[in-house]
Structure 1
């Protein structure tokens, strides 16, 4: 089951109108509107196409069923996190937030040993990371830092690089505003 509210957030974060997304999908504006309002269900094929257009993992578009109805939209069990896929080699991410409808999202990021971003990432966001384990090298322009367990960092709409040249996996919680995944 997709979350229409999450779909709307992703569409807007990519500066797409409902009509533009419908056109890219090869579907009617009415159908797209129904999907965003959770009135219509979508096929696996449409889900894959939406994910491709929005440049997200298909799993992000599937709202996992809450363990109990009272937990829906409030509690995310560890075994029910939505995978964000593998946008970068050596980075595994999962959504910790219940959905994308808040002004921020929280992501669990795992950086594999010996991996690094090949090119700087620049997002129009404000981000704060908190290191849970391992070490990570961060670069902001010509400034370089190494962060470890208990350290935090902030990125404000600027290019950055990360690298894990170490032997152990690094894990961080990442708060991103506005939601982009």
Structure 2
């Protein structure tokens, strides 16, 4: 549950079988889409609320992320939507912009077979990124929308089909001269 501390209005809430960062981010995103961007987000210190992804989301949105004192669970889930100097909450620039702000962000080095791993699952990436470090954006519950962000362009990634991957021709890899592999030979 997320409560606006000014009006005491319940601005977000949903029931889940587990309390995790992904589920909290869904609730926060829906609250912002409906009621606007808060100035502050006040949460407890649990791993669902104290993680790098939530910090990056708040920075993207211009929200000050505050954490409660340890063992102060009664005060979690508050947002300060109105300040004394504000008449209206800030609205997201667009739904697409809001979606982009909530993508998780990680950096991965692309392997020579043009794949990366996210949570122990392999994904194919465009061959132009072989051996490069790439910035990956994804929603943990929707990996079909995952992409590499490079020079403000989105390059989609897809789950690796290992059978297809082993038959892929990769033209940008250096050719190996096998005639020199065994050293000098006398003929």
- Give the TM-score normalised by structure 1: 0.25
Which is bigger in relative contact order (C-alpha 8 A, separation at least 6)?
1
